[in-house]
Amino acid sequence: MSNPRPIVIACPTVIEEMQPLLPAGFKTRVLDFGLHVNPDRLRTTLQRAIDEAAKEADTIILGYGLCANAVVGLVPSNSTLVIPRVDDCIAIFLGSTAAYREQSQKVPGTYYLTKGWIEVGDTPFEEHKRLVDKYGKQRADRMIALMLKNYTRLAYIDTGQADQKGYRRYARRTAEQFNLRYEEISGSRALVRKMIHGPWDDDFIVVRPGQTVELTDFSIACP
C-alpha cells in the first residue's frame, strides 16, 4: 500500500464537480446514483468500495455527505477516510453547510439542479417524460403535480463549470413547465477544492483506521 495519493469514491453528481480540479493520476471510483434510494444498500456498497480502495491508498476521500445516514457506521479498516461534514451534496455545491442552511431557510421548497444532476437525469422533467411513456400525459401531470406540491422554486446552482448554457436553459424550461419560480444561485468550489487539496479542517470528518463514522460527527456543522 503506502500510496500518498488518495483515492476518491464519489457519487456521479459530486464527481462532476471534482473532475475539473483533480490533478492527473488521481484515481476515482464512481458509484451508481440510484443507490441513494436505499441508504442501507449505499452503505454496504460504500464499505465494499472503501475496503477495495484501502488496498491501494492510505487515504480515501468520500464524495458524499451524511446522505440519509448512509455513511454512518462506515469503518475504514486500514486507511484514513475523509468525508465533507455536510448533510448532502447540495452543501458541497454551494460551498458550505452555512450556505445550504441559508438557502433552505429562505425557501424550504426548493428543487435544486446542477449540471451533474441534469446529466444523471434526476430532474422532475425527466421523471415526467418517463411517467408519460408509462402512464400517459394526464396521469403523469397529476403525479408530478403531487410530487411538487410543496415546491415553489427551482434553483440552478452555478458551480462554475464551463459551458453551462444548455443546462441553464434546461433548468429554466423545467421550472416553466412545472410552474416553479426559476432562480440561479451561485455555487462555490471552495469545499470541493479542499476535499482534493486540503486542508481537511473542521469542514471535514477525518476517520482514522478502525474508527467508525458516527452521526454525531456531523453535528458540528449544525450548531
Partner 1 sequence: MKTPKRPISESLSDLNEKETIAAVEERLELGDDPIRIMDQCQEGIIEVGRRYESGEYFISALIMAGEIMRQISEILLPVLKKEITGKASGRILLATVQRDIHFIGKNIFKVLLQCTGYTVQDAGEDVPPEKILEATLAFSPDVIGLSCLLSSCYDSMRDTVAILKEGTRDLETIPRIIIGGRVNEKVNQYVGADGWADDAMIGLRLCHKLIRR
Distance CA 115, CA 119 (A): 6
**DSSP string across 90-107:** HHHHHTSHHHHHHHHHH-
Would you count residue 72 as binding partner 1 (CB under 8 A)? yes
Window of 33-41, 76-84, 160-168, 173-181 that interacts with partner 1 by CB under 8 A: 33-41
- The C-alpha cell 452521526 sits at 215
Strand partners, 156: 113, 184
CA distance 206 to 204: 6
DSSP state of 149: T
Answer for the pair 1, 55: CB distance below 8 angstroms, yes or no.
yes
Of 2-10, 16-24, 47-55, 147-155, which segment contacts partner 1 by CB under 8 A?
147-155
**Cβ nearer to partner 1, comparing 61 with 91:** 91
**Closer CB to partner 1, residue 57 or residue 66?**
66
Options 45-53, 139-147, 153-161, 202-210: segment touching partner 1 (CB under 8 A):
139-147
Q: Dihedral angle at the C-alpha atoms of 17, 22, 24, 25, nearest 10 degrees? A: -100
Report the nearest approach of partner 1 to the CB of residue 68 (Å).
Answer: 5
Among 1, 24, 146, 162, binds partner 1 (CB under 8 A): 146
Residues that bind partner 1 (CB under 8 A): 34, 37-39, 41, 65-69, 72, 87-88, 91, 97, 100-101, 104-105, 108-109, 127, 130-131, 135, 139, 142-144, 146-147, 149-151, 214-216, 218-219, 222
